[in-house]
Amino acid sequence: MGNSALKAHLETAQKTGVFQLTGKGLSEFPEDLQKLASNLRTIDLSSNKIELLTPVIGKFSVLKSLSLNNNKLTALPEELCKLKKLDTLHLNGNHLRRLPAGFGQLSALKTLSLSGNQLRTVPTQLCSLRHLDVVDLSKNQIQSVPDAVEELQAIELNLNQNQISQISVQISHCPRLKVLRLEENCLELSMLPQSILSDSQISLLAVEGNLFEIKKLRELEGYDKIS
Note the pLDDT tens digit of each residue in 146-177: 999 999 999 999 999 999 999 999 999 999 99
pLDDT value of position 225: 74
Note the pLDDT tens digit of each residue in 14-40: 999 999 999 999 999 999 999 999 999
pLDDT value of position 1: 57
Residues of the chain with pLDDT under 70: 1-2, 227
CATH architecture label of 1-225: Alpha-Beta Horseshoe (3.80)
pLDDT value of position 222: 83
pLDDT value of position 147: 97
pLDDT value of position 163: 98
Q: Where are the chain's structural domains?
A: 1-225
pLDDT value of position 221: 80
pLDDT value of position 52: 96
Closest C-alpha among 119, 128, 166 to residue 147: 166
pLDDT value of position 227: 61
